[in-house]
Amino acid sequence: MITVVAGPCGAGKTTWILQELAQIPTPAVYVTPGVGSAPIDATRVQARCPQVEIFDHQSETELLQRLTAGVPAYFELGFQLETDIPLLATRPHRRVALVAEENQETSWQLWADTVIQGNPSTLDLQAAQLWRAPLSGQVFDSPSLDTFWQELTQGAYGEVHRAKGIFEQSDGQAFHLDFMNSLPGNAYTELNLPRCVQGRPNRFSGLEVVGQGLDEGAIAATLKDCYLSDSLLAAHQATLKDSVPLEVA
């Protein structure tokens, strides 16, 4: 079965897919087109469901092989993408839209076979600004990152509707941070990944911000101020090496 999931920004598409994947005992495929150099949701899915094969940059030929073999597949479409996928034009698939009652839009309702209650969104799609930053190899000073995240989500760099990212911490852990302006609070979730306490991590991390009037230069500059230098990172890791098994991720 092929399932295509779409909906507004922050509707809860990845969370719904993770719930579906948890009920599948066999290997599956997760496809997330259009993410460029910031596959945040794909990294989250892979950390939660190691049996799932992730497709974000792989060739279409490889993906077609999985679809032809009947491997269960989930396509997650960002709010900014078209809902029609040429690759699936002749293949049976179900269409699922996550839309809150107050955000129901004719385009998603007409497109979907099934409409599921999603998180509300206040984003004006016509004025939406999408900014992404790959951060792979960077490790963050935790207090500085906390301050930056609070500033970001409270409007210091423009009107933020959604922010999500994967950040490496000085203790070797990787965290998924998630903010949606229509929901209370922030979500901080440790990812089930090997703890890296030797050198810089060799895996994806990055940030995605959606909003209006974003000061991208200020966001990038403040992020950079949160990076740990090589010397500070080495000092942090030296205090951990006797208590944490060495793992290079």
What angle, 0 to 180 degrees and rounded to 10, lies between the N-to-C axes of helices 13-21 and 40-48?
20
* Distances from the Cα of 174 to the Cα of 77, 99, 156, angstroms: 25, 30, 25
Quote the distance between the C-alpha of residue 160 and its chain's center: 16
| Residues facing 156 on adjacent strands | 158
Nearby residues of 238 by Cβ (< 8 Å), 6 or more positions away:
none
Domain with CATH 3.30.1220.10 in the chain: 129-240
Q: How is domain 2-116 classified at the CATH fold level?
A: Rossmann fold (3.40.50)
What's the rounded Cα separation, in Å, for the pair 18 and 24? Answer: 10
What does the buried/exposed string (b/e) look like for 169-195 if buried means 16 or more CB atoms within 10 Å of the residue's CB? bbebbbbbbbbbbbeeeeeeeebebeb
- Tens of pLDDT, residue by residue, the chain (249 residues): 999 999 988 999 999 999 999 998 889 999 998 887 889 999 999 999 999 999 877 678 889 999 999 999 999 998 888 888 888 888 999 999 999 877 666 688 889 999 999 988 888 888 899 999 999 999 999 999 999 999 999 999 999 999 999 999 999 999 999 999 988 878 899 999 998 888 899 999 999 999 999 999 999 999 999 999 999 999 888 887 766 554 545
Contact between residue 235 and residue 195 where contact means Cβ atoms under 8 Å apart:
no
What's the rounded Cα separation, in Å, for the pair 62 and 60? Answer: 5
Query: 3.90.1150.10, 3.30.1220.10, 3.30.499.10, 3.40.50.150: which CATH number matches 129-240?
Result: 3.30.1220.10
Which tokens belong to 149?
């995240």
Domain with CATH 3.40.50 in the chain: 2-116
For residue 235, what is the enclosing H or E element? helix 230-240
